[in-house]
Amino acid sequence: MSLLYEELKWRDLIKDVSDEEKAKDLLNNKKVRFYCGFDPTGESLTVGHLVQIVRMKLLATYGHTPVVLIGGATGLIGDPRQTSERQLLTLEQSLKNAELIKKQISRFLDPKKTIYVNNNDWIKEIDMISFLRDFGKHFNINYMLSKETVQSRLSTGISYTEFSYMLIQAIDFLHLFEKEDVKIQFGGSDQWGNITTGLELIRKVKGDNDAVGLSSPLLLKSDGTKFGKSETGAIWLDEELTTPYEIYQYFLNTADNDVVKYLKTLTLLTKEEILALEKAMIEEPEKRFAQRRLAEEVVLFIHGSEAVEEAKLVTEALFTGDFATLPVKAFNTLEKTLDTTYVSEGDELLKAVIDTKLASSNREAREFIKNGAISINGEKITDSNVLIMKANALFNKYVIIKRGKKKNGLVVIK
């Protein structure tokens, strides 16, 4: 069996480590509790969070216990971004988001072997004077100013609220170290300043100790752009915000230079499997074996096997133009994927062609229809006066309008 620390290094899941020998001992030779925090700044996590979730899952398979911290309190403040201040949440919104994120993460980890905590439970008990005396007193301004997240904001300005974020996160690590016997904190490399502040607070309060901090590299594309962004924005883990098909397509289109890195950090495929996929990619890049496996594994991890099959069916239908064999549930995905219009039975096809952006005007739509460029559910239409009828619809509700070989729109009969 491989050693966990070495596997984490191979998977490129370790960038910074506070004490490598101590980390190796805890991860390779013992069974410890470790924590990773998620601030509830939105109602859903994104695929960018998968690095931490997959790493927690990996550690759990080696017998370590995940402690998932949902930042109901820190979410009210906002971890400093490099650009500007975050918009502040209300307590009600922060706690609501926290519950949604807890529910989302619980899909990935064994509920019987995972501990969930919300830092609002202990942060709300600390009054201002106690905060300044018991915690703030341990850090001088020069130490806090030296942190990279603060440095990046000095030219544009940073509020005391965001400046103090690192102290709140440090309190979290101390609390979990004392109350939950947590030995390790993980996070992205942008969290390294917060992680080391927590280690410093533990050292000053507890003296010599066995706490360790580790960070992972931020996942960027090979061109330097941010991972987890599509043309339409963030890729969410909530299927109501981003369909499994969209996630499948996102990873299916991964560049060759990125695919092995994503297989290592976003899946739990074995080293042997990943190396075999890398070899196949080098020898037959046009077949995109690695990209297909990556897309399947990520969708499987997030949404399960049925979602994988549906994503593959929709992908095939959009490529071949054959939508008749799709199950009815797949049309929910198409509604979120294709330009869609909602009509009543008997409405004109001509208007639907324009509403689905397959033509820009009545004149252009008539021209396309006259030339046989438009089909509905696979049947070519040459009459501009055709009406949308349930009898000609799939499941008495859905009509696929196709222009040429690749442009599709969806009509839903109300």
| Same structural domain, 183 and 239 | no
Q: How many CB atoms lie within 10 A of CB 170?
A: 24
Total domains in the chain come to 3
For helices 289-303 and 50-61, the axis angle rounded to 10 degrees is 80
Q: Would you place residue 52 in the very low, low, confident or very high pLDDT band (cuts 50, 70, 90)?
A: very high
Alpha-carbon distances, residue 159 vs 45, 77, 195 (angstroms): 26, 10, 20
Average pLDDT, the chain: 92
Quick one: 165 and 47 in the same domain?
yes
Q: Could you give the percent of the chain with pLDDT greater than 90?
A: 79
Task: Summarize pLDDT for 270-282 with one digit per residue, the tens.
Answer: 999 999 999 999 9
List of residues 6+ apart from 341 with CB closer than 8 A: 352, 355, 356, 409, 410, 411, 412
Domain co-membership, 61 together with 201 = yes
47, pLDDT greater than 90: yes
Per the domain annotation, does 223 fall within a domain? no
Residue 144: pLDDT over 90: no
Q: What is the pLDDT of residue 181?
A: 98
Mean pLDDT of 233-252: 93
In the structure, what pLDDT confidence band is assigned to residue 1 with cuts at 50, 70 and 90? very low
The pLDDT, as a whole number, for residue 30 is 96
312 and 408 together in one domain: no
Please report the pLDDT score of residue 300 as a whole number. 98
- The tokens for 275 are 């190396």
- DSSP E strands in 24-155: the ranges are 33-38, 65-70, 115-118
Residue 232 reports pLDDT greater than 70: no
- How far apart are alpha carbons 172 and 197 in whole angstroms? 11
For residue 22, pLDDT over 80 is answered with yes
Tell me the mean pLDDT in the region 393-405.
Answer: 93
DSSP summary character for residue 15 = S
- Whether 58 and 164 map to the same domain: the answer is yes
Rounded Cα gap, residues 355 and 398, in angstroms: 15
% of the chain exceeding 70 in pLDDT:
97
CB 219 within 8 A of CB 229: no
Q: What is the CA radius of gyration of the chain?
A: 26
Per-residue model confidence (pLDDT) at position 229: 67
Helical H segments across 304-375, by residue range: 305-320, 330-337, 349-355, 362-370
Q: What does the pLDDT average to over 348-364? A: 95
The burial class, CB within 10 Å (0-12 / 13-18 / 19+), for 59 is: buried
**Spatial CA neighbour of 39 closest among 79, 80, 86:** 79
- Beta-strand ranges (E) seen in 107-241 are 115-118, 182-188, 212-216, 229-230, 233-234
Span 229-237, mean pLDDT? Answer: 79
| CATH number, residue 184 | 3.40.50.620
pTM listed for this prediction = 0.88
- pLDDT value at 82 more than 70: no
Task: State the pLDDT at residue 231.
Answer: 64
- How far apart CA 52 and CA 216 sit, in angstroms, is 8
Q: How far apart are the first and last CA of the chain?
A: 58
pLDDT at residue 233 is higher than 50: yes
What is the model's pLDDT at position 356?
A: 96
Strands 374-376, 398-403: pairing kind? antiparallel
CATH number at 235 reads: 1.10.240.10
User: Domain limits at 363?
Assistant: 338-413
> pLDDT value at position 83?
64
pLDDT at residue number 155: 77
Q: Contact, 402 vs 374, CB < 8 A?
A: yes
The DSSP secondary-structure symbol of 392 reads: G
* Per-residue pLDDT at 56 exceeds 50: yes
Amino acid identity of residue 150, one-letter, is: V
Domain holding 394: CATH number?
A: 3.10.290.10
Residue 332 lies in a domain: no
Residue 326 maps to a domain: no
**Residue 280, CB half-sphere, CA atoms under 13 Å: how many?**
15
CA atoms within 13 A on the CB side of 312: 14
- Average pLDDT, integer, range 188-193: 92
Confidence of residue 161 (pLDDT cuts 50, 70, 90): confident
Residue 149 has a pLDDT of: 78
Does position 344 have pLDDT exceeding 50, yes or no? Answer: yes
